[in-house]
């Protein structure tokens, strides 16, 4: 992976209306979730919504939506698994990059769990709370301040994921372009962290993380029914 390629110049988040940022997060949450047939039926609605966004966020989202519209559901689900479940460099779990499946990751997950609990979201037992689509939906529909804080704390991870998707020429890269455009630009310290994460890769020690999980069906209901 090349980490020297410059990030595209994007508008500062302060230039975006809060409702636009929340709409980007909402659309991205749906597109970064595992594709369902119901999601496929929503693509025209998502396209209509994305058209209303500023070009620097709307265009990347539209690029992926248009790709999904001309792709079969079966092919899209296979692409999703190949992209996010089979490659360590493009995992959608934000704490995985720094901690892998180690005991330290459990403590990092508590940060997400506490934010959801404070906002009144009940956690379940099956999906880890640091999954990007979950965090984006939380930020879009439940608590934009706490959600943006969680996303902002993981800017280096999001940038590494964005670069990885571009390097593999994944259609999902545009979705990460849009998400990153809603967050503060990366700093020199962020760049050092990105290089460090890319060089070291996630640790391999495996442990049980069940106490920090989230029931996907529960959180969809709590967060407004993503499916």
* pLDDT single digits (tens) 31-80: 999 999 999 999 999 999 999 999 999 999 999 999 999 999 999 999 99
pLDDT score at 224: 39
**Nearby residues of 84 by Cβ (< 8 Å), 6 or more positions away:** 90, 91, 92, 172
Contact assessment for residue 123 and residue 129, using Cβ atoms and an 8 Å cutoff:
yes
**Nearby residues of 4 by Cβ (< 8 Å), 6 or more positions away:** none
**Nearby residues of 85 by Cβ (< 8 Å), 6 or more positions away:** none
Contact assessment for residue 112 and residue 150, using Cβ atoms and an 8 Å cutoff:
yes
Under DSSP, the state recorded for 217 is H
**Nearby residues of 204 by Cβ (< 8 Å), 6 or more positions away:** 100, 101
Q: What is the pTM of this model?
A: 0.81
Contact assessment for residue 112 and residue 137, using Cβ atoms and an 8 Å cutoff:
no
In angstroms, the CA 57 to CA 179 distance is 8
Give the mean pLDDT of 102-109. 80
Would you say the C-alpha torsion 60, 227, 89, 152 has a positive or negative sign? positive
pLDDT score at 159: 93
Which 3 state secondary structure label does DSSP give 126? coil
Give the mean pLDDT of 121-128. 75
pLDDT score at 16: 75
pLDDT band at 123 (very low <50, low <70, confident <90, very high): low
Domains in the chain (CATH in brackets) are 13-222 (1.10.3480)
pLDDT score at 120: 93
Give Cα separations from 186 to 3, 7, 191 (angstroms): 13, 9, 7
């Amino acid at each position: 992976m090349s980490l020297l390629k410059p990030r595209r110049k994007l508008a500062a988040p302060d230039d975006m209306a809060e409702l636009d940022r929340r709409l980007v997060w909402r659309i991205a949450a749906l597109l970064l979730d595992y594709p369902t047939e119901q999601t496929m039926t929503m693509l025209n609605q998502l396209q209509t919504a994305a058209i209303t966004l500023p070009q620097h966020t709307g265009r990347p989202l539209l690029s992926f939506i248009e790709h999904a519209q001309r792709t079969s559901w079966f092919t899209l689900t296979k692409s999703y698994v190949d992209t996010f479940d089979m490659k360590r460099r493009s995992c959608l779990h934000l704490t995985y990059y720094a901690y892998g499946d180690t005991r330290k990751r459990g403590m990092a997950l508590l940060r997400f769990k506490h934010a959801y609990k404070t906002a009144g979201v009940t956690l379940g037992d099956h999906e880890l709370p640091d999954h990007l689509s979950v965090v984006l939906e939380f930020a879009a529909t439940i608590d934009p301040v706490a959600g943006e804080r969680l996303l902002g704390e993981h800017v280096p991870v999001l940038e590494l994921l964005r670069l990885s998707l571009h390097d593999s020429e994944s259609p999902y890269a545009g979705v990460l372009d849009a998400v990153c455009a809603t967050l503060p630009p990366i700093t020199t310290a962020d760049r050092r962290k990105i290089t460090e994460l890319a060089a070291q890769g996630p640790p391999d020690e495996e442990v049980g993380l069940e106490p920090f999980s989230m029931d996907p069906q529960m959180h969809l209901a709590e967060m407004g029914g993503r499916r």
